[in-house]
């Protein structure tokens, strides 16, 4: 009981610190229910948990050495900011996937540390969209610090609190203040806290670090929406799809095909699927090769050119 109360106090203190950084009034903070706080006594910090969570896709699980790690640091990277929607969507999908597969008595939450420069380029997370994506808002804590040092401190404090099953740390590019020493410290903290730390690198290149594996995510074409009987509904868009390339993994894992793999996230069932080759990809209705001008016609003149009248020939007057 005393340990649970101590964890509750740490989580409330962390929320107050986030509110001060973001300039929000402290009276808006609500107490966290006991179900959202983990039990530190259930997990020994001296034992590193090497269990894996299988994606259920044979090729991907074999390439990752059994699936997704339960504790430690993994990295999801996008090659450019224009692909940040795919990398962020994959990170949120992984967080929702882990939340549905944790022990019921744990009841831990998700902590997302956003990068301000990425938010200015790609926009903020939308609450309604997060719910549609499979994340429960009452089990999600979102913070947007002003500096990288604050983001690293928040991520480490969240790991130390043991109140979160997944911590997502979003950074932009390859900052000099996040090197091997910072990566190793967070990786060890995630292992000791029995927590999955997802390093979400937006618009950055490959970089050495203490991550267990690194995935590069890019957008992929979604299939058609399936009816309850399995029939594809023409003209619709199905589940969100991501194209993955494994850039770093343990040496004991099986190699992934050179062309990578495409994953679909089923937000309703909260699971990943591999799209069938027989499922047709979404394509718009066919259009003529030259449909004409797409601009609206002026409102103060006729909608089509007037036909010419008879042309008469006149002699010159001079």
How does pLDDT run across 46-89, given as a tens digit for each residue?
Answer: 233 347 888 888 888 888 888 888 888 999 999 888 888 899 99
The model's pLDDT over 106-138, given as tens digits with 9 standing for 90+, comes to: 678 999 998 888 888 888 888 888 888 988 888
At 295, the pLDDT band (50, 70, 90 cuts) reads low
Q: What is the pTM of this model?
A: 0.68
At 252, the pLDDT band (50, 70, 90 cuts) reads low
Q: How far apart are CA 94 and CA 217, in angstroms?
A: 12
Fold of 53-273: Rossmann fold (3.40.50)
What pLDDT, on the 0 to 100 scale, is given for residue 121?
82
Helix H, strand E, coil C: the string for the chain is CHHHHHHHHHHHHHHHHHHHHHCCCHHHCCCCCHHHCCCHHHCCCCCCCCCEECCCCHHHHHHCCCCEECCEEEEEECCCHHHHHHHHHHHHHHHHHHHCCCCCCCCCEEEEECCHHHHHHHCCCCHHHHHHCCCCHHHEEEECCCCHHHHHHHHHHHHHHCCEEEEEEEEECCCCCCCHHHHHHHHHHHHHCCCEEEEEEECCCCCCCCCCCEEEEEECCCECEECCCCCEECCCCCCEEEEEEEEECCCCCCCCCCCCEEEEEECCCCEEECCCCCCCECCCCCCCCCCCCCCCCCCCCCCCCCCCCCCCCCCCCC
The answer to whether residue 33 scores a pLDDT higher than 60 is no
The pairing of strands 232-233 and 240-248 is unpaired
The model's pLDDT over 161-197, given as tens digits with 9 standing for 90+, comes to: 888 999 999 998 888 888 888 888 888 888 888 899 9
What pLDDT, on the 0 to 100 scale, is given for residue 141?
92
Average pLDDT, the chain: 76
What pLDDT, on the 0 to 100 scale, is given for residue 43?
33
Residue 241's nearest CA partner among 260, 224, 225, 220 is 220
Backbone angles phi, psi at 264, to 5 degrees: -115, 140
For the segment 273-300, the average pLDDT, to the nearest whole number, is 58
Greater model confidence, 284 or 226: 226
For the segment 268-289, the average pLDDT, to the nearest whole number, is 63
* Segments making up each domain of the chain, as ranges: 53-273
């Amino acid at each position: 009981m005393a340990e649970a109360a101590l964890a509750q106090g740490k989580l409330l203190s962390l929320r107050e610190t986030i509110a001060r950084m973001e300039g929000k009034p402290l009276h808006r903070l609500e107490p966290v229910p006991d179900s959202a706080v983990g039990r530190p006594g259930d997990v020994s910090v001296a034992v590193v948990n090497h269990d894996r969570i299988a994606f259920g896709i044979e090729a991907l699980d074999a390439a990752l050495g059994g699936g997704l790690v339960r504790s430690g640091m993994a990295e999801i990277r996008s090659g450019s900011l224009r692909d940040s929607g795919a990398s962020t969507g994959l990170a949120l999908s992984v967080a929702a996937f882990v939340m549905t597969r944790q022990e019921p008595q744990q009841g831990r939450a998700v902590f997302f540390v956003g990068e301000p420069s990425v938010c200015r380029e790609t926009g903020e997370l939308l609450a309604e969209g997060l719910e549609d994506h499979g994340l429960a808002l009452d089990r999600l804590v979102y913070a947007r610090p002003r500096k990288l040092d604050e983001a690293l401190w928040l991520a480490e404090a969240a790991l130390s609190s043991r109140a979160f099953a997944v911590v997502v740390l979003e950074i932009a590019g390859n900052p000099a203040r996040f090197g091997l020493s910072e990566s190793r410290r967070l990786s060890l903290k995630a292992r000791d806290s029995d927590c999955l730390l997802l390093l979400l690198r937006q618009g950055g290149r490959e970089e050495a670090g203490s991550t267990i594996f690194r995935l590069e995510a890019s957008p992929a074409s979604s299939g058609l929406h399936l009816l309850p009987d399995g029939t594809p509904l023409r003209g619709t868009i199905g589940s969100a799809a991501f194209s993955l390339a494994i850039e770093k993994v343990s040496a004991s894992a099986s190699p992934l095909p050179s062309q990578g793999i495409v994953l679909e996230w089923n937000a309703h069932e909260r699971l990943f699927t591999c799209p069938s080759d027989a499922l047709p990809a979404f394509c718009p209705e066919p259009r003529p090769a030259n449909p004409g001008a797409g601009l609206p016609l002026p409102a103060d003149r006729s909608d089509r050119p007037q036909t010419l009248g008879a042309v008469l020939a006149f002699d010159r007057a001079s």
